[in-house]
Amino acid sequence: MQNIKIRNLIIESVKELECISPTPRLDVEILLCHVLKIDKIKLMTSYESYIEEKDLKEFKNYMEKRKKSMPIAYIINKKEFMGYDFYVDENVLIPRPDTELIVEKLYNKIKVVKKDISNGITNRHNNLKILDMCTGSGAIIVSVKKLIQENEVDINAEFYGVDLSKEALNICKKNIKELCVEPIELINSDLFASSKFEELIDSLDIIVSNPPYIEDDIINTLKSDVKDYEPMMALVGGQDGMRFYNAIIEDSLKYLKNNGYLIFESGHNQARKIEKKMLECGYTDINIYKDLQGFERCILGKLVKI
């Protein structure tokens, strides 16, 4: 391989991705920074430098993957979410910015419950139990526990992450360790099917979930970087996209405490269906929050058991 300056390599590589990616320049820079183990500022100051042969070979290998529409996050096994770097591969969904809204609402609700405990408004003990159903990479549960640690929120809580995929749980375990938020108990289960849940009847304070919610008929219309690489079992939500929402809402009645909370991420057109189901099952004080694009993305409700 002949010597090539980083500047010229970027120009050539961007052209190769122009028909593949909506962000070809960004993709190239991320891949180069990863290969060279430098940040973007250092990359910019290195434009006139020549790239070493071994690094060029690795970069070209990554480029071939990207030209086949493999997502950048899977190529470099990393995705930033809530300001934290999560390990990801094709066994888990890539965390999206929209999901940060769910983390924000969960974190705020934990602080509200803590305040209610301190003020004697609730008879809960200061030992909350928070469960993330369909946890995947652990983006939600790991991020919220990290926020609690970093902001020194004075609350004792037990955290659970649940997923049917053992591979996903292994990735979640890796992120728990790398981001130093141990312990979080991981449960391999098809929703609430595991016998472990017999210990959690009427004991959970908050259930949060970003379940599979894409309608069966929509899957084949998705972009290739999603349908060809991200795990189908984490995407497909049944004919109307409500399969997992309905099951989680119904089963939550058994495992949430009275006045416990259920928090969902929603597909952009499903919030009202989820709200209707929650109302039918005894949830009150339901709030729907929009993401930065204006889509109804987060649904939060309180369960009142009669």
296 closest CA partner among 269, 263, 262: 269
Distance CA 156, CA 52 (A): 51
Q: Which residues touch 300 (CB under 8 Å, ≥6 apart)?
A: 105, 109, 261, 262, 263, 264, 286, 287, 288, 289
Is 24 annotated to bind a ligand? Reply is no
DSSP state of 214: B
Residues constituting the chain? 306
Distance CA 257, CA 5 (A): 62
Is 163 annotated to bind a ligand? Reply is yes
Contacts 24+ apart (CB under 8 A), 65-69: 66/17, 66/20, 66/21, 66/27, 66/31, 67/16, 67/17, 67/20, 69/20, 69/223, 69/224, 69/225, 69/228, 69/229
Is 210 annotated to bind a ligand? Reply is yes
Distance CA 197, CA 191 (A): 10
Distance CA 247, CA 3 (A): 58
By CB neighbour count within 10 A (0-12 exposed, 13-18 middle, 19+ buried), where does 280 fall? exposed
Is 89 annotated to bind a ligand? Reply is no
Q: Which residues touch 126 (CB under 8 Å, ≥6 apart)?
A: 114, 117, 155, 156
Binding site feature residues: 163, 210-213
Binding site feature residues for substrate: 210-213
Binding site feature residues for S-adenosyl-L-methionine: 163, 210
